[in-house]
A and B are shown apart, each in its own frame.
Chain A
């Protein structure tokens, strides 16, 4: 009887664990599905807000414009129609805001028909006009021409170099500067963290006395427990001015500042994993090396490091993973300019920082919101690739070079 009860008990526990596992897996899959659905919804949207239209005079030969052209026209960087393939005529830009001022004077501003007729008149009178107006204001018998804008294009997003998500009339979602910025900062971080991390790992695993190790290890692990905001603030008030002074730069908020902070933050990961793998080198192998007359240093260089190389690689990959996903500290020190980085001494904008800074006020379901989700998807793909690589590398662990 007792046995039966115990068996039943164990069986139910097993089922509960199975359930937990299933729920977790399903949740993760659902989150990923949600992420991708929201992210790729971006390409279903028009390049300008659905409630608005871009109109020109009916005599104008232009039928369609790209979002970049629209942005440049409304920024007055393109000033003649000739530059976009039209007539040799200066462009007259007209926005709703110009209009609101115009109306408030004489009428209440709520009379839709009156506003519509004014729109019609303005567009009819000026042959060189381009106007950005809400669709609700378009009169039924409109005597202008609505420009064909089209959907947001995959190509424009992935190789676009301008990130202007709130630009009106036509937001630009060029992701390239953000992706490259993220990679650049993480690359710098790993370049700094790697020699340091390995040095410390070798020291702790091979050189330090037991007593020293007892003190050093907890201190390094403590580093992992410091909140990233604290790192960010430290970076902003200490590292940023320091970099500015040392390299005599006009501005201290640069990619290198982000890299240094990220390097410090990924050190505990790198050190702990690398050190663990170095300590798994069998004593007999090391003793054999020493017995053959190799010095301590030769043993480390020729035996310990090659033996634990897969562990070290895992450490590096996980360190990069930590750096790529980091948000707050980077947001505070890199300056967040959405430009393609050309050196370490320029401001950059990373993907996580962009999401954190902008998601708060991006209207739910809008194009900006979906573009931020798309950024999330890209970040997910990057970190997923990294974890897969880490998995592959560490599964080779036991194929030792001996």
Chain B
């Protein structure tokens, strides 16, 4: 009797050890990983996944502490994080699994349909305060951003504002859904959302970084890199666990996995050069 129980316990433990994979990190990457792993489990029903959020930084710290197997991140690993891996003598592997385009959105009634990066910077830093100044109606600009904890907030700051700070008067909302809700009911609003979230309640505008060529946030423009506000989404794992996560990684990079990525609104890596 005792032996049977022991046997079962050991079995359960080792089974979990072999199959349960913990994935933790950026909330931006979660919907993507969730869909992919659901498909993955159809092919490998014996596997077990647990996915949790908390943000890119949280995921990477968990990877350092060995409390997760894979870390999701919507930004590149920072220098000091890399140092912490070095201290623990862990080799960290970085994989770009997809790209995400950020769309700049306004209220559907807004006649403005293109902005340059400089204009965007000035709007988000409070130097331009009326739509009149960028060729629109005489209407106060209401700027919406995500909360400071969001990776999207950081990426926008880095890419569009060139690391400068947002003005204090920006309205911050806790989630992408709330950004859309707020912009759809405010005539002078402007904000940013992931390309996957674009819908008919908000209008996306054309963006230019060089001030000459303006591009719409479409799948095609993001794929051929002409749309400028595109960021890579990363998965990180440590080299010693490579065998352990290989099946999942292979599935993500397979044509099937990449097609799933495309259908849920992210930019896939098909025909992409491998670094």
Interface residues of B in 33-61 (CB under 8 A from A): 54-55, 57-58, 61
Taking CB as reference atom, which chain B residue is nearest A340?
Answer: B168
Known: A75-B165, A358-B147. A51 touches B181 (CB 8 A): no
CB pair B154–A166 under 8 Å, yes or no, is yes
Q: What A residues does B187 contact at CB under 8 A?
A: 250
The smallest C-beta distance from A220 to any residue of chain B, in angstroms, reads 30
The verdict on B16 contacting chain A, using a C-beta distance below 8 Å, is no
Instruction: Give the contact stretch, choosing among B170-178, B193-201, B239-247.
Output: B170-178
CB pair B168–A134 under 8 Å, yes or no, is no
Number of A-B contacts (CB under 8 A): 96
Known: A51-B80, A134-B79, A361-B55. A162 touches B168 (CB 8 A): yes
The smallest C-beta distance from B123 to any residue of chain A, in angstroms, reads 14
Instruction: Give the contact stretch, choosing among A192-200, A237-245, A296-304, A394-402.
Output: A237-245
The verdict on A339 contacting chain B, using a C-beta distance below 8 Å, is yes
CB pair B174–A357 under 8 Å, yes or no, is yes
Q: What B residues does A241 contact at CB under 8 A?
A: 185
Interface residues of A in 195-250 (CB under 8 A from B): 236-237, 240-241, 244, 250
The verdict on A252 contacting chain B, using a C-beta distance below 8 Å, is yes
What is the CA–CA distance of A377 and B222 in the complex, to the nearest angstrom?
A: 46
CB pair A75–B164 under 8 Å, yes or no, is yes
Instruction: Write out, one digit per residue, whether chain B residues 142-178 have a CB within 8 A of any chain A CB (1) or not (0).
Output: 1000011110011000100001110011111110001
The verdict on A76 contacting chain B, using a C-beta distance below 8 Å, is yes
The verdict on B228 contacting chain A, using a C-beta distance below 8 Å, is no
The verdict on B189 contacting chain A, using a C-beta distance below 8 Å, is yes
CB pair A338–B168 under 8 Å, yes or no, is yes
What is the CA–CA distance of A134 and B149 in the complex, to the nearest angstrom?
A: 22
CB pair A336–B172 under 8 Å, yes or no, is yes
Q: What B residues does A74 contact at CB under 8 A?
A: 163-164
CB pair B149–A357 under 8 Å, yes or no, is yes
The smallest C-beta distance from B129 to any residue of chain A, in angstroms, reads 10
Taking CB as reference atom, which chain B residue is nearest A335?
Answer: B171
The smallest C-beta distance from B170 to any residue of chain A, in angstroms, reads 6
The smallest C-beta distance from B18 to any residue of chain A, in angstroms, reads 31
What is the CA–CA distance of A331 and B169 in the complex, to the nearest angstrom?
A: 15
Known: A162-B168, A336-B171. A251 touches B142 (CB 8 A): yes
Which residues of B pack against A, CB within 8 Å? 54-55, 57-58, 61, 79-80, 83, 125, 139-140, 142, 147-150, 153-154, 158, 163-165, 168-174, 178, 181-182, 185-189
User: Other CB < 8 Å A-B pairs besides A96-B79, A134-B80, A347-B171, 16 of them?
Assistant: A75-B165, A95-B163, A164-B165, A166-B153, A250-B188, A251-B189, A332-B174, A332-B178, A335-B171, A335-B173, A336-B172, A336-B173, A337-B171, A357-B174, A363-B57, A363-B61
Interchain residue pairs with CB less than 8 A apart (22)? A74-B163, A74-B164, A75-B165, A100-B79, A164-B165, A166-B149, A236-B178, A250-B187, A251-B142, A332-B174, A335-B172, A337-B170, A337-B171, A339-B168, A347-B169, A357-B147, A357-B148, A357-B172, A357-B174, A358-B147, A361-B54, A363-B57
Which 10 interchain pairs have the tightest Cβ spacing? A361-B149, A250-B140, A335-B171, A361-B55, A251-B142, A336-B172, A75-B164, A357-B147, A166-B148, A250-B188
